[in-house]
Amino acid sequence: MRYTTQMDAAKKGIITNEMKTVSEKEGIDVNRLRELVAKGRIVIPANKNHKNLSPEGVGEGLRTKINVNLGISKDCPDVEKELEKVRVALDMKAEAIMDLSSFGKTETFRRKLVEMSPAMIGTVPIYDAVGFYDKELQDITAEEFLKVVEKHARDGVDFVTIHAGINRETATTFKRNKRLTNIVSRGGSLMYAWMELNQQENPFYQYFDELLEICQEYDLTLSLGDALRPGSIHDATDASQIKELIILGELTLRAWEKNVQVMIEGPGHMAINEIPANIVLEKKLCHGAPFYVLGPIVTDVAPGYDHITSAIGGAIAASYGADFLCYVTPAEHLRLPTMEDMKEGIIASKIAAHAGDIAKNIKGAREWDHAMSRARQQLNWEKMFQLAIDPEKARRYRAESQPEHEDSCTMCGKMCSMRNMNKVMEGKNINLLREDA
């Protein structure tokens, strides 16, 4: 039996090779997985032209995945430098990489990225449109916007961020409800500007059915962008954000009718206490579609440390049901991330994702922590390094400060609680002062 997309196959009762791979990775029954894909609660972004993809599932009952944003810009156009970041991100087991390139040889970078990456690849086609056509934003036509999406799909990207929820209706809501930071989404601000300059409807909203046809042809997953995500805690959970979320829920149902897979993107900057309610709202208004969040960044006053503010919010969001975390680096709001910025952002996001998985009782999450605890109790340093989220840093810290006694560290020495409890539990004496202890 033939099928067009993973969702189409799932609805027809077909178990695809991609479903089998995800089932094995997650330890979930493949028939249960298929049912959730059919319902739209799990997506498997897998473009037909991404030949070396190792598929991942995003959604209900699965491990929380992380995404790494990379790409060239006008100020930093070095393709090879960004590709080296890609190699490191893949070595660090990032499940997704988003190409946010906005200048220069975007096609070259994107094609190399797809060719080399077993991780799923995402893009934001509107970023590419200005450079692709060498036109000012106002002069790009609706048809041309759609052609850029098709170009990215043909190149093999697995999901695209499309800001279809900021239509004339949501723009009116935005104008009526003043914000402290207006529209901070880059793609959202470009789409709003295009609508205002041309006094026309958002092309991605107006021609949503044509967009779905492209998605069907390549099995391209839609990541419905949050153009009106809050860029400050002041603007969180306001009328503009919620109005757009309602529209995204309506678009989700339209996409599912055409068997197109959908993720919903979410905030943004947000106080800790608002995060649980936002997860409930998204899941309710968008019918259980997987939720893909940037952060949330829980305070606005920590430039240089936003990998931490984001990890705090990401852990809370994941624990309440967010499915996919977009990493944030220390360079957020300040510059294009360096290699070290990227590494720190990946580790922070992986910690947040795993913390959320523990709370969600995802299969294997707690067992990982239990294994680490056993290694600590046994003072098995090599095992601890192997189990660490960042083995390289753990090994380096240990090597930089060698203890007098191998079964301790330089923090506690012979007063190490693990060391002494092991001795006591074995019926041995504890000598803290003598050299022979």
Whole-angstrom CA distances from 384 to 318, 349, 365, 368, 409 are 25, 20, 16, 11, 13
Tokens of 111: 């094609």
Confirm or deny that 265 is annotated as ligand binding: yes
Whole-angstrom CA distances from 49 to 68, 121, 126 are 21, 11, 21
Confirm or deny that 215 is annotated as ligand binding: no
Q: Measure the CA–CA gap between 322 and 302, rounded to whole angstroms.
A: 23
Q: Measure the CA–CA gap between 115 and 147, rounded to whole angstroms.
A: 21
Q: Measure the CA–CA gap between 31 and 358, rounded to whole angstroms.
A: 24
Confirm or deny that 326 is annotated as ligand binding: no
CB 387 within 8 A of CB 427: no
Confirm or deny that 185 is annotated as ligand binding: yes
In the block, which residue shows the tokens 């060498």?
Answer: 134
Tokens of 4: 């067009």
CB 47 within 8 A of CB 156: yes
Q: Measure the CA–CA gap between 1 and 39, rounded to whole angstroms.
A: 20
Confirm or deny that 227 is annotated as ligand binding: yes
Confirm or deny that 269 is annotated as ligand binding: yes
Confirm or deny that 292 is annotated as ligand binding: yes
Cβ neighbours for 77, distance < 8 A, ≥ 6 positions apart? 103, 104, 105
Confirm or deny that 127 is annotated as ligand binding: yes
Confirm or deny that 409 is annotated as ligand binding: yes
Confirm or deny that 73 is annotated as ligand binding: no
Q: Measure the CA–CA gap between 127 and 225, rounded to whole angstroms.
A: 13
Q: Calculate ∠ Cα 305-308-313, nearest 5°.
A: 130
Confirm or deny that 187 is annotated as ligand binding: yes
Confirm or deny that 163 is annotated as ligand binding: yes
Query: Which segments are annotated as binding site for Zn(2+)?
Result: 269, 333
Query: Which segments are annotated as binding site for [4Fe-4S] cluster?
Result: 409, 412, 416
Query: Which segments are annotated as binding site?
Result: 69, 98, 127, 163, 185-187, 226-229, 265, 269, 292, 333, 409, 412, 416
Query: Which segments are annotated as binding site for substrate?
Result: 69, 98, 127, 163, 185-187, 226-229, 265, 292
